[in-house]
A = this chain, B = another copy of it.
């Protein structure tokens, strides 16, 4: 019923991050966030289900970008490369937000309830990726494995991107992570097979 508030979403997000930084995440309430943004709690809850959600509201947009890029990828690109290509499509959007991403990452690492939410969002992202690979003809179990592996690459690349003094973009770090994965996977082929399959 409340009147329309211009940029309420952004104002709330900005206020929340300011307060999390100033007072700590645990000592910031939804009421504090709304007050700092010059809005009501009721308005807050029109945009976010809770305090945590402020940090995760971009997840759906992210999934949409990735899935769209996967759907548009040439069909002769191998599945894991397709996923990396999809993930890399998020790089331009992340690029101007590196400082924000670093602060957000620090918060998430420090708070189990945020870490929890992050894991859930990443699991949902893996499911979305698996579904879009499946639509491209990859059987379900393989699609899930490739999607989960893609998420492992994404987490790895994201952490390196956030702290990269050289300022390479996320797409660069995704390619580097994929190259690294290839090394550990390929190296395995040269390792001796000592294990007796006795069990």
User: What are the residues of chain B within 8 A of A125 when measuring CB–CB?
Assistant: none
A12 within 8 Å of B (CB atoms)? no
Secondary structure type dominating chain A contacts: helix
A160 within 8 Å of B (CB atoms)? yes
A184 within 8 Å of B (CB atoms)? yes
Name the residue on B nearest A83 (C-beta): B184
Answer whether A182 and B180 are a contact pair too, CB < 8 Å, given A152-B145, A194-B74. no
A1 within 8 Å of B (CB atoms)? no
Find out whether the CB atom of A146 lies under 8 angstroms from the CB atom of B184.
yes
Number of chain copies forming the complex: 2
The number of chain A residues touching the other chain, given as a range, is 35 or more
Name the residue on B nearest A156 (C-beta): B145
A66 within 8 Å of B (CB atoms)? no
Find out whether the CB atom of A199 lies under 8 angstroms from the CB atom of B180.
no
Name the residue on B nearest A175 (C-beta): B197
Contact among B144, B155, B195 with A156 in the assembled complex (CB-CB below 8 Å): B144
Name the residue on B nearest A153 (C-beta): B145
Residues of A within 8 A of B (CB): 74, 76-81, 85, 88, 91-92, 112, 115-116, 119-120, 123, 141-142, 144-146, 148-149, 151-153, 155-156, 159-160, 169, 171, 177-178, 180-182, 184-192, 194-195, 197, 199
